[in-house]
Amino acid sequence: MKFLTIKKRTLCVILVSIILICSVVGACFAVKATASPKPEYSIVIDAGHGGRDGGAVGKTTGISESVLNLQYALCLKEACEQFGFDVVLTRSTMDGLYDESASNKKKSEMEKRKNIINNSNADLVISLHMNSFPLSSSEGAQVFYAKGSEQGFNLAKSIQNSLSKSFESARDYVTVGDYFVLNYSNIPAILVECGFLSNPEEEKLLQTEEYRKNFCYSILAGVINYFEM
């Protein structure tokens, strides 16, 4: 694994500046950049779904997962660029990645995501999604990694730990996920289920700007910690 070429003391200052002390109903503190890693480090941010594939649907408001995925991807992109990382997006609009003429649009979409990721020369991949479950009480962010990927596990654990410190509802463990974007990435990759659209309270929180920014800065804190391992 490559390491950030900045002093450990400086990295600690960055971490202190972005750790968010908040809960889903508590006060959140302003984030201020105090130092930046070199821009040679690159991250692929993958907003799941798009186009005809809207993904999960909010139980109360009817918001589509693809809309929120893109909002969170753009927010995370801004946060990462603020701290000096280069960012590659798999999609930056609501359009789908599939070829309109493809007979199997899902396969076409996933192949496009794989190609963007594997041609990016990036250091890691973060795929963003929203969860849904028949039991409406299910809640909390959860991070997945590919089976057998040690670096994927380390990245997932670092980000999950950061999220669980900032959000009481976030899970305190990581899980192996059998997802295309994880299994076919040639660089460390994780998938973040940001929350449950099937939970009315969490569905509303996920749509607020304050929650989105706090969530994305928590992911960023986990990424920086991963590079420091």
Q: What is the pLDDT of residues 80-133, one digit of tens each?
A: 999 999 999 999 999 999 999 999 999 999 999 999 999 999 999 999 999 999
Q: Model's pTM, two decimal places?
A: 0.85
Which CATH class name applies to 8-227?
Answer: alpha beta
Segment 22-49, tens digit of pLDDT? 333 333 433 444 445 445 789 999 999 9
CA distance 223 to 156: 9
Segment 123-165, tens digit of pLDDT? 999 999 999 999 999 999 999 999 999 999 999 999 999 999 9
E strand or H helix that includes residue 106: helix 105-118
User: Which residue from 82, 224, 74 is spatially nearest to 155, judged by alpha carbons?
Assistant: 224
CA distance 9 to 202: 37
